Structure 1
């Protein structure tokens, strides 16, 4: 009797294990199948998205082509002429005085008047240059010639005003150093020898031009001997 009970118990356990195994296989199958379906659905969404993007790009391309076709003439010869006209309009600049740099003309006229000792006209030409072409390559020289013209006219007040502008605008330029020598000479004319000496020494120390340094040293020495 005991043997029969033991056999029955073993049989039930075996049956239970088999059922559980079958259930586990069944669940695993459907779970794997469900994950596969999710992946497939995700891929299908990506494909649909790519199709939509491609359709949108195609539409935009067609719209752009239609826009260009409306702007350009249909005739190929006219189209080529149209493109050349557009190119020439970009390259060509209006031949007006405002678009051309005529600062060199004013500068040469000013120098001519200066060399002929017509200092008033020289100052006028250089001032025109500064007014019309403030970014010209001749700006520093124009300031210099204006200051020099006033100095040679013995209009020391206006000369000092121009010298002060050059010191402010172009402190390192060698022409500023040369015109500072004129400031020293103006100080000498006003019997301000100590101030003149300091100006000459400052020019000698702060500028590298050899000719400028020689002149500054010579003028400084001449002041010391007075």
Structure 2
């Protein structure tokens, strides 16, 4: 009888251990499943975030291309894109004087001051143009006249700062090439003839405008023959 009771106790213990093991496996299985679903949800969120970022980058690229188009008025296709962008901006904006593009008026006023050698007023007008109408088709010319005005005022530090802005914003524009010649001349004035020579050679090599290339080559030769 005693042996039977012992066997019964052993049986009960084995059964209990089995239930505990089964329960642990059951819980572990569903906990693992929950973790898998959580990880899957995180991955889905990450994919959606990447899609959004890609869409944002695409939009920013198109926006940048339209902004660059305004500095190339000779290209009718790019100019059309710029005009379309301006039209869209006017449509999105409330009716106000700010929607009217008066950049041409400011440009002509600044150019008149420049021709009259009133360089301080010219700089003020062109800076006003850039502040009020950053997408104006006269933007690159405004930067050029600001840099040139500083050069003629012999404020070479300010001129170099504006030249750097042009190189950054309009690296392939002919006016950038012409203003780089001023950078070379500033280098010459500082007795940095090797640097000046390199600037002239770079302009001659990288710009297609024939008048610009001729001037760059002529300046480079004048430095070499010193």
Q: How many angstroms apart in 2 are the aligned matches of 1:97 and 1:108?
A: 19
- Matches of 2:95 and 2:218 in 1, distance apart? 51
Deviation of 1:96 after TM superposition, in Å, equals 3.3
SS class of match (2:213): helix
SS in 1 for 2:194: helix
Give the corresponding residue for 2:17.
Answer: none
Aligned to 1:186: 186
Post-superposition Cα deviations, 1:39-97, rounded to whole Å, max 9, x if no partner, equal: xxxxxxxxxxxxxxxxxxxxxxxxxxxxxxxxxxxxxxxxxxxxxxxxxxxx9x97632
Secondary structure at the counterpart of residue 168 of structure 1: helix
Normalization by structure 1: what TM-score? 0.58
Tell me what 1:217 maps to: 217
Higher mean C-alpha displacement, 137-146 vs 95-104 = 95-104
Over aligned residue pairs, what C-alpha RMSD do you find? 1.4
Alignment of 1:105-184 (within 5 A): 105-184=105-184
Larger Rg: 1
**TM-score, normalization: structure 2?**
0.58
- In structure 2, list runs of 5 or more residues that go unmatched: 1-90
Cα distance in structure 1, aligned partners of 2:149 and 2:96: 31
Q: Distance in 1 between matches of 2:179 and 2:107?
A: 18
Higher relative contact order (CA 8 A, sep 6+): 2
Once residues 94 and 203 of structure 2 are traced to their aligned partners in structure 1, the CA distance between those partners, rounded to angstroms, is 46
Structure 1, unmatched stretches of 5+, are 1-90
Structure 1 Cα separation of the partners of residues 203 and 119 of structure 2: 26
Listed as ranges, the matches of 1:41-80 within 5 Å are none
- The count of aligned residue pairs is 135
| Rounded Cα–Cα distance in structure 2 between residues aligned with 1:99 and 1:207 | 36
Report the Cα distance in structure 1 between the residues aligned to 2:161 and 2:194, rounded to whole angstroms. Answer: 21
> In 2, distance between residues paired with 1:96 and 1:225?
59
Who is 2:198 aligned against?
Answer: 198
